[in-house]
Amino acid sequence: MAYDYDLFVIGAGSGGLAASKRAASYGAKVAIAEYDLVGGTCVIRGCVPKKLMVYASQFSHLYKDAEGYGWSPVESQFDWKYLVKAVDTEVRRLSQLHISFLEKAGVELIEGYAKFVDPHTLEVGDRKVTADKILIAVGGHATKPDIPGAEHLVTSREMFLLPEQPKRMAVWGGGYIGVEFACIMNGLGSEITQIIRRDLILRGFDDDLRSTIQESMANRGIQFRLNSTIDKVEKVDEGLKLILNGEEDEPLIVDAVLCATGRDPNLAELLLENAGVELKEKAIAVTLDSRTTQPHIFAVGDCTDRMNLTPVAIAEGRALADTEFGHKPHSITHENIATAVFSQPEAATVGMTEAEAREKFGDAVQCYRARFRSLFNSLAGGDERVLVKLIVESNTDRVLGAHMVGKDAAELIQGIAIAVNMGATKKDFDDTMGIHPTSGEEFVTLR
């Protein structure tokens, strides 16, 4: 049977864009459907605008640090509306750029929400299209716990467009998004209280990394309500009143609450049942090579809830296009994927945490760690610590994980990730000459 397209992609986010362009480069006839701005979470309401806001929020810390170097105090006012507009303009420019990349690649962009009619047919607006192969790359959305007053909570999506900067803000959740926004808003001058249901942020990361960031965040003025959660949000004259439950349950009055308690795949209206595509919990069930329960339908990125990171979605999408259209079959591994939390100070990590390594290798694990005040801070003041940590399997000397908290940790760990991926040993690290004076040299001088 002849289909309208060789590949139809649902969702023009990181994974969908990468897969569609790669498939078209092999001569496939490709279309991509998007009902929102082209670019997806990362470009429009995630990584990119977030990082711009991180940059904006770092200046206040720099102004303070400068005094330790002899600069007179900087008197400066921050203009929230200016930043929101500037970020929005940049995001829209990038979205247009992605549209031009699609055009150049010969991928047809169809505006509208795609729904399955049957396993090879989709409805997009008032149009019906058929495709030999279909890729679902629809991403996810922030969720809110079902509590009274949940309508007063904002999610990361709304954070980029808030009309006013909240003077007092609560951040609910201790994952990537909660931690990053707590630091951004703190740097921009809001009073921040972060409410987490454990005693440490960032579950799943190495414990030393978690405690080092949390300590620094507290030193920078972020208040924590530990082992606590929000039961109810009430609108009162002074703002929003949060009724808390747990260890630190004194009610809290704020101007805004960011709900960062997690994300779910965007599957509710796709009519997956018409295509026979099955789920695993809330996400699309896929094999290692991103195939769903229908052999000609694939899924990549956050809607599969594997590792919800942009570079992973891109790599999954490209691997699928190479395999299905480029006669270069391969799949990606989800091991040793470096990741960063753009907190202040920044944190980054690759490979196993100490706890994961001990669970797998028992006593045959050696940890090397340095916690120190950076040279920069010796004049800037404060006793914020840099953390550098390596996890090593003693029998083979192989480095299983590398973790860092400190300035430019993400830039540094990106390089170290290559070594860890190649199976570098602790001796390989020791045999490498350091660059002096840097924080990174600690990775090659750990004893």
Using Cβ positions, the residue closest to ligand NDP within the complex turns out to be 175
CA distance 144 to 149: 11
Closest CB 327 distance from ligand NDP, rounded Å: 32
Q: Which is nearer to ligand NDP, 23 or 138 (CB)?
A: 138
Q: What is the DSSP code string of 16-52? A: HHHHHHHHHHTT--EEEEESS-TTHHHHHHSHHHHHH
CA angle (322, 328, 331) in 5-degree steps: 70
Q: Which two tokens stand for residue 23?
A: 């498939």
Residue 176 touching ligand NDP (CB under 6 A): yes
Beta strands in 112-198 (DSSP E): 114-118, 121-124, 127-136, 140-142, 153-154, 168-172, 191-195
Residue 149 touching ligand NDP (CB under 6 A): no
Binding part of the chain for ligand NDP, among 95-103, 177-185, 365-373, 428-436 by CB under 6 A, reads 177-185
Identify residues 17-56 at the interface with ligand NDP (CB under 6 A).
none
Closest CB 155 distance from ligand NDP, rounded Å: 9
Selecting among 152, 334, 403, 436, the annotated active-site residue is 436
Helix, strand, or coil here: 400?
A: strand
Chain-centroid distance, C-alpha 421: 21
Q: Which is nearer to ligand NDP, 176 or 443 (CB)?
A: 176
Identify residues 291-330 at the interface with ligand NDP (CB under 6 A).
308-309
Binding part of the chain for ligand NDP, among 246-254, 259-267, 281-289, 380-388 by CB under 6 A, reads 259-267
Residue from 173, 317, 351, 406 touching ligand NDP (CB under 6 A): that is: 173
Q: Which is nearer to ligand NDP, 102 or 299 (CB)?
A: 299
Q: Which residues pair with 172 in a beta bridge?
A: 195, 259
Residue 160 touching ligand NDP (CB under 6 A): no
Residue from 5, 8, 342, 429 touching ligand NDP (CB under 6 A): that is: 342
Conformation bin of residue 399: beta by default, left when phi > 0, alpha when psi is -120 to 50: beta
Residue from 263, 306, 318, 389 touching ligand NDP (CB under 6 A): that is: 263
Residue from 190, 261, 353, 439 touching ligand NDP (CB under 6 A): that is: 261
Q: Are strands 30-34 and 108-111 parallel, antiparallel or unpaired?
A: parallel
Nearest to 193 by CA among 144, 248, 237, 151: 248
Sequence-distant (≥ 6) Cβ neighbours of residue 169 within 8 angstroms: 185, 190, 191, 192, 193, 254, 255, 256, 257, 258
CA distance 9 to 31: 6
Q: Which two tokens stand for residue 259?
A: 């709900």
Q: Which is nearer to ligand NDP, 284 or 297 (CB)?
A: 284
Residue 145 touching ligand NDP (CB under 6 A): yes
Nearest to 238 by CA among 219, 217, 255: 255
Size of the site for ligand NDP (CB under 6 A): 23
Closest CB 203 distance from ligand NDP, rounded Å: 3
Q: Is 327 a catalytic residue?
A: no
Q: Which is nearer to ligand NDP, 14 or 121 (CB)?
A: 14
Closest CB 303 distance from ligand NDP, rounded Å: 13
Helix, strand, or coil here: 163?
A: coil
Q: Which is nearer to ligand NDP, 147 or 285 (CB)?
A: 147
Q: What is the DSSP code string of 353-374? A: -HHHHHHHHTT-EEEEEEEEE-
Q: Which is nearer to ligand NDP, 83 or 177 (CB)?
A: 177
Sequence-distant (≥ 6) Cβ neighbours of residue 85 within 8 angstroms: none
Residue 177 touching ligand NDP (CB under 6 A): yes
Residue from 165, 229, 349, 377 touching ligand NDP (CB under 6 A): that is: 229
Sequence-distant (≥ 6) Cβ neighbours of residue 314 within 8 angstroms: 14, 15, 18
Binding part of the chain for ligand NDP, among 26-34, 195-203, 237-245, 270-278 by CB under 6 A, reads 195-203
Identify residues 395-434 at the interface with ligand NDP (CB under 6 A).
none
Residue positions annotated with a catalytic role:
436
Footprint on this chain of ligand NDP (rule: CB under 6 A): 145, 173-178, 180, 196-198, 203, 229, 260-263, 308-309, 339-342
